[in-house]
Amino acid sequence: MTSPESADAARAFEVTFDGRPVEALPGRTIAAVLWAAGITSWRTTRDGGRPRGVFCGIGVCFDCLVTVNGRPGRRACLVPARPGDVIRTQEGTGHED
């Protein structure tokens, strides 16, 4: 009999974060994938460049913004990870200001 953990591991896929390969499991948000990889900060503030990651975890606070597949301002706590996603740390607004 196959355990749920081994079944999930068999379906694992890869995303990249700042050029580094990261394993992801189906159904997890980008925030969950990054946390599972030990990454707790993936955005810096516009003023001061202070690191941010997940704060509220429900899409209200906007602290967890990342750039996904070239699109800035994506809330990592709400966006499901998809095979091949290219995720980057977001600096400021994520646009070339």
What is the CATH classification number for the domain harbouring 76? 3.10.20.440
CA distance 72 to 10: 31
pLDDT tens profile 14-41: 999 999 999 999 999 999 999 999 999 9
Q: Residue 5: phi, psi to the nearest 5?
A: -65, -45
Range of the domain at 83: 4-90
Q: How far is CA 74 from CA 3, 65, 69, 77, 82, in A?
A: 33, 5, 10, 9, 14
Domain for residue 30, yes or no? yes
Domain for residue 64, yes or no? yes
Q: Is the dihedral of CA 5, 11, 38, 54 positive or negative?
A: negative
CA distance 9 to 2: 11
For residue 51, name the pLDDT band (cuts at 50, 70, 90): confident
How many domains does the chain fold into? 1
Q: What is the pTM of this model?
A: 0.82
